[in-house]
Amino acid sequence: MMQFEKSRQLQELPKQFFASLVAKVKAITEQGHDVINLGQGNPDQPTPEHIVKSLQTAAENTINHKYSPFRGHQYLKEAATVFYEREYGVKLDPNSEVAILFGGKAGLVELPQCLLNPGDTILVPDPGYPDYLSGVVLAQAKTEFMPLTEENDYLPHYGEIHKETLERAKMMFLNYPNNPTGASATEAFFEETVSFAKEHTICVVHDFAYGAIGFDGKKPISFLQAEGAKDVGIEIYTLSKTYNMAGWRVGFAVGNKSVIEALELLQDHLYVSLFPAIQEAAASALLDSQSCVEELVNKYEGRRNVFIDGLRSIGWDVQAPKASFFAWLKIPEGFTSESFADYLLMHAHVAVAAGNGFGEFGEGYVRVGLLTSEERLQEAVERIRALNLFGE
């Protein structure tokens, strides 16, 4: 059989960080061990019943068996605008300021290809979601990392970016609530971001994947709530986390008209939009009762409290996340992020994600997903306690 070489573009794609973690967990599991897997970000709850029923009904309608309009159905775009005005007080034009996506990741990978030419520079948070880099490579662009540190509440410090970098930069990724740190953004930070982007003509792409998940009575804010935000960028929203629809692959981008048009133009050549029944179910999710979202956030907050309080009780000095379903934990002395993650997996059969997988400034931390029951999280704490790593 002939072997055909992959294109240079594919060969240059970053190695999938989570693939190695999956392989390590699989190896331990195959030895017969019960692994508590806190390493990935896959929601563990089912999609709410009313959304599933909406899909079932829509799937029986033969009109939905035909091609969707290339840019998706108008009713889903209108649902997104109703959602944004209700939740964030942001008014959007469904005809020019909304693009339907095959999940948030698709938009994040597509956008550099929409806006950047080979050699252009994009600003990317470090630590950050690894798949931001996939779109950068496919666009043949260059990455400049913005350090996120605990001392600055995991917000980038724009004043530390070199002047030469700012002259080349055309685009910037942001993500709050933040993966992996669980940090939140402030109104003042988003206002600063708008001013910074206007001054340097940079398109802001705000990844709002965890937009529904805020703790201690504080609802995460949208980038588009900042005055002038639509002038300088867009926000990507996914239904994956808010409604436990990760496998459904549906999201949308909202904001700057020129960016939305570029995104829709690229997608015209890639897809004929989503299965219409999924679009109907997504509209139902956005427009119907949001009690399921409130219940979900309460569940995550309960898990956070059990886990963080448990770790503190064994002497591990950790910070509680303000939002998202992740906890970002500083590792004990004597380990690297990867060696500590491996140690927990080997000796406690608890899987976590090594912080350096999210970037250079992730070294010294591990990321934990609060995506299992309170009982399993408590059991993970007890397994870690048995290792005697912390002075109780």
- Among the listed residues 294, 244, 211, 278, the one whose alpha carbon sits nearest the alpha carbon of residue 49: 244
Predicted confidence at residue 194, as pLDDT, reads: 98
Predicted confidence at residue 321, as pLDDT, reads: 96
Q: pLDDT tens across 280-329, in order?
A: 999 999 999 999 999 999 999 999 999 999 999 999 999 999 999 999 99
Instruction: Compute the radius of gyration of the chain from its Cα atoms.
Output: 21
β-bridge partners, 173? 205
What's the pTM? Answer: 0.96
Predicted confidence at residue 37, as pLDDT, reads: 95
Query: What is the longest distance spanned by two Cα atoms in the chain?
Result: 64
**Rounded average pLDDT over 102-108:** 96
- Among the listed residues 111, 112, 110, 128, the one whose alpha carbon sits nearest the alpha carbon of residue 120: 112
**Rounded average pLDDT over 126-145:** 95
Predicted confidence at residue 319, as pLDDT, reads: 94
Half-sphere exposure of 329 (CA within 13 A, CB side): 29
Domain that holds residue 180: 66-287
Asked whether residue 123 falls in the same domain as residue 181, the answer is: yes
Asked whether residue 233 falls in the same domain as residue 335, the answer is: no
Asked whether residue 157 falls in the same domain as residue 283, the answer is: yes
Q: Look at the chain and report how many structural domains it folds into.
A: 2
Q: pLDDT tens across 162-174, in order?
A: 999 999 999 999 9
Pairing of strands 353-354, 365-369: antiparallel
Asked whether residue 275 falls in the same domain as residue 303, the answer is: no
Rounded (10°) angle between helices 74-88 and 276-287: 20
CA angle 359, 360, 363 (to 5 degrees): 100
Measured distance CA(124)–CA(221) in Å, rounded: 20
Kindly indicate the confidence band of residue 392, based on its pLDDT and cuts at 50, 70 and 90: low
**Rounded average pLDDT over 252-257:** 98
Indicate if the pLDDT at residue 16 is higher than 80. no
Q: Where are the extended beta strands (E) located within 156-299?
A: 169-175, 203-207, 233-238, 251-255
- Sign of the torsion formed by the C-alpha atoms of 141, 240, 129 and 216: positive
Residue at a domain's end among 287, 306, 336:
287
Asked whether residue 151 falls in the same domain as residue 123, the answer is: yes
Asked whether residue 242 falls in the same domain as residue 361, the answer is: no
Asked whether residue 300 falls in the same domain as residue 278, the answer is: no
Predicted confidence at residue 40, as pLDDT, reads: 86
Indicate if the pLDDT at residue 96 is higher than 80. yes
Predicted confidence at residue 322, as pLDDT, reads: 96
